[in-house]
Structure 1
Amino acid sequence: MQLAPDTVYQYLQKRQLIDEEAVVNGNFMVHPVKTRNNIMKILIQPHNSLFVKQMGTDLVSGNLFQREVNVHYLFKNNNEFSSIAAIVPPLLDYDDEHNIMVTELLHNAKNLYEHYMLTKNFDLNLAKEQASILSAYHIIPDKKTNTSMFPKLLPWVLQLDKHKAHEFFVGNESSSEIINLIKQNQVLQNELINLAKSWQFTHLIHGDIKWINFLAVEKEGGFSQKLIDWELADIGDPIWDVAGLIQSYVTTWLLGFDNNNPYSQTLPEYMQPYDIKNMQPSAQAFLYEYMELQQYEKLDQAVFLTKVMQFTAARIIQTSVEGITFNTKIEANNMRCIQLAFNILKDPLATLHELFNIKL
């Protein structure tokens, strides 16, 4: 069964998730959202609306669905993780026969990318709160905590040496082509192999940190944030999540250049607020706040920031390649991303200074 805008009402009614009185009064709207999953926003009342997410029926999608459901269960029922429940929209219902989950839809919330695009304001308080959110769930689970739902997998970009290029995005020639280019660059390939060897299977991680997975929620005097899409949650290396947020700054900047002018060093006028120099204070605030919350000593900061930049390079590659699967062709900005990732891996601390004005 595939949910659709004209069938979702009956489904939600059957699951007793609909306020009938509100519907009778004309408060029911369906907003489909185009993603790789089947997603619909159900607008009923400002503080009584639903977010419906249906994943595929293939084995991989089924496993991701079950993992996300299990993570919500962990947050709700395990004291070790109970504080995290406040930063995640509550799971209201799930249907493991059809891989459907229903969570609360936050009124007037925008994902962080949308928020930044609309406001052009990189509020340092938002960056610091993101550090607090990551720090809150970056926990080493107690040995008594059941973590069997987590497969402890490396990100696919750190496994390029183990598989052929066409095996990552089946049927997508452009993705295979650029993965082949990466694999043929022995320096780049070796750096990714070394990163895989350095991976720590220690903490709870989100696994897919990026701006669009943070929701900025209006409140009196400002915004608060929630973190969504936990389908790649795992026991892994917390620095991967930190790098995920840093790559959002970098890829927003790099992917904003004019693809028809590959040698241009200047962003189009409408993208100039998102020049990396304008976003530096926000990225700095995030990194400094995270290091303080995680109590990194001075001597450990260089090691931490080096690995952040190395993982950021891997995340940039991953974002670029995944973008090609939607565009179906390699564009100039994809190559900008790969080139910068290569430069970062050659000298992580030099690029840390150049991109974010952090010098150790």
Structure 2
Amino acid sequence: MFLTAANLVHYLTARGFVSPCDVVDGQFSVIEAGQHNRNFKVLSGARGGIFVKQIQAIDRLAQSSLLKEAQVYRLAQKFPEWAASMPVLLDYDQTRHSLIFELISDSQNLREYYYQQNTFPNSLAGLLAEALSCYHRLSFDVNALDATIPDLQKKIPWIFTYYKKSYFPPKSLSVGAVQFAELLRSKPALTEHLDRLFETWRFETLIHADLKWDNCLIYHDAGQPKLKVIDWELVEFGDRRWDVASVFQAYLSHSIMRHYRDQSQKREQLLQHTVDSMPMMFASIDTFWRAYCDGMQLAVQDRPLHLLQCLEFSAVRMLCTAFESLHGAAEVSQHAQALVELSQQILDAPAQAAVNLFGFAEEN
């Protein structure tokens, strides 16, 4: 049932993606690239390469998510601009619960790139904005979507109400993750903001719902940088602002999450380092926002309010990042505490945060 480096060749040969000649020509190799799934990069010389993704365990949620991802890729083929911002899906095997993609050679995700280069080119920000706007501006009939993607979710992200109720099996959470809910409950002003923003959620179009730099691959084609958005398994019918907010929070949490396993740093140090490092990202953030608004054809007079709404959502999305960082943690880390404090700062004064934390001019 489950694919391994040992049985992958037979599987791919049976499905017509590998031939015996590929294996014996000396240029064939299999590289395990698993994280949350069983992932493999398969290189086969002149034939290029493919990327294989299979679920880790047989459970209903994992099976549903993979099927939903396959359905989204098929839907995107009806919209060439959207499809161009995604990898090419070659095959979906419902029996093996696996997806096969065309491999994007010599690519790396944005998180890896930014950590290695410590520069934030405006060109990459523009590409990401273009990718988001090309699917955010699409209009879908909800009933038709339900028929195309039967398991498509229409729900508000769990983080808005996590302080009230846990949506995870008790034994699946670390002590730190459990304590995180207690930390949120200890901040009534923060939970009031969560309740307020919960009521503003819109169900308007398809959103990626798990947008982060890890899910954005960059590569070069004919010397020009290109970007693909990957991992669509959590796609939902929801609020466009959530995807935009996810990008904003990726910038703000960048320095804190860079060494989130280093427990020697204190919350105050992490916050100060964030404030000190943000100016090098200001131009990139501004480019992303302007390009996104242009792509969405958002009226100039509507942009300031929309920006503040997206920044408020970014504060909520950053709480997700804090929670995710506590996987396996014995307590709430200094890094998670710093992210919560930044979230509170944004929600208490979004206009001030727009200027001081994100570098927008006051007129924006």
How does the TM-score come out when normalised to structure 1? Answer: 0.91
- 1:168, 1:203 → 2: CA distance? 33
Aligned match of 2:300 = 298
Aligned match of 1:354 = 356
Q: Offset of 1:327 from its aligned partner?
A: 4.7
Task: State the SS of the aligned residue for 2:146.
Answer: coil
After the TM superposition, which residues 31-110 of structure 1 pair with which residues of structure 2 at under 5 Å, given as runs? 31-45=31-45, 48-55=48-55, 56-76=57-77, 78=78, 81-110=79-108
- 2:287, 2:12 → 1: CA distance? 42
| Contact map agreement 1:161 1:193 (CA 8 A) in 2 | no
Aligned match of 1:6 = 6
Q: Deviations over 1:22-64 (max 9, x none)?
A: 2220122121124121111112236621111111321211221
- 2:170, 2:67 → 1: CA distance? 22
| Contact map agreement 1:165 1:176 (CA 8 A) in 2 | no
Ranges of 4+ aligned residues in structure 1 off by more than 4 Å: 165-169, 326-329
Task: State the SS of the aligned residue for 1:325.
Answer: coil
The answer to whether residue 280 in structure 2 is matched with residue 262 in structure 1 is no
- 1:342, 1:267 → 2: CA distance? 13
| Contact map agreement 1:165 1:179 (CA 8 A) in 2 | no
- 1:280, 1:254 → 2: CA distance? 17
Aligned match of 1:147 = 146
Q: Offset of 1:281 from its aligned partner?
A: 0.8
State the AA in 2 paired with 1:99: H
- 1:213, 1:349 → 2: CA distance? 29
- 2:23, 2:38 → 1: CA distance? 23
- 2:96, 2:186 → 1: CA distance? 41
- 1:214, 1:47 → 2: CA distance? 24
The answer to whether residue 99 in structure 2 is matched with residue 123 in structure 1 is no
Q: Offset of 1:103 from its aligned partner?
A: 0.7
After the TM superposition, which residues 151-230 of structure 1 pair with which residues of structure 2 at under 5 Å, given as runs? 151-160=153-162, 163-164=165-166, 167=169, 170-230=172-232
The answer to whether residue 13 in structure 2 is matched with residue 17 in structure 1 is no
Cα root mean square deviation, aligned: 2.4
- 2:163, 2:139 → 1: CA distance? 29
Q: What is the aligned length?
A: 355
Identify the range of structure 1 (140-149 vs 173-182) with the bigger mean alpha-carbon deviation: 140-149
The answer to whether residue 342 in structure 2 is matched with residue 340 in structure 1 is yes
Percent identity of paired positions between Structure 1 and Structure 2: 28
Consecutive unaligned residues in structure 1, runs of 5 or more: none
| Contact map agreement 1:38 1:54 (CA 8 A) in 2 | yes
Aligned match of 2:320 = 318
Q: Deviations over 1:63-109 (max 9, x none)?
A: 21111011011112x3xx33311111111111222321111111101
- 1:202, 1:92 → 2: CA distance? 29
Structure 1 residues 142 and 347: alpha-carbon distance in aligned structure 2, compared to 1, 3 A threshold: same
- 1:182, 1:285 → 2: CA distance? 33
State the AA in 1 paired with 2:43: L
- 1:308, 1:169 → 2: CA distance? 34
How does the TM-score come out when normalised to structure 2? Answer: 0.90
- 2:212, 2:331 → 1: CA distance? 23
Q: Offset of 1:282 from its aligned partner?
A: 0.5
Q: Deviations over 1:198-228 (max 9, x none)?
A: 1111111111111111111112333111111
Structure 1 residues 143 and 99: alpha-carbon distance in aligned structure 2, compared to 1, 3 A threshold: closer
Consecutive unaligned residues in structure 2, runs of 5 or more: none
State the AA in 2 paired with 1:60: L
| Contact map agreement 1:135 1:290 (CA 8 A) in 2 | yes
Q: Offset of 1:263 from its aligned partner?
A: 5.1
- 1:338, 1:86 → 2: CA distance? 36
Q: Offset of 1:183 from its aligned partner?
A: 2.8
Structure 1 residues 61 and 223: alpha-carbon distance in aligned structure 2, compared to 1, 3 A threshold: same
Q: Deviations over 1:118-170 (max 9, x none)?
A: 33221101101111110000122146743342221221212325524765773
Structure 1 residues 47 and 228: alpha-carbon distance in aligned structure 2, compared to 1, 3 A threshold: farther
State the AA in 2 paired with 1:102: I
| Contact map agreement 2:256 2:270 (CA 8 A) in 1 | no
Task: State the SS of the aligned residue for 1:336.
Answer: helix
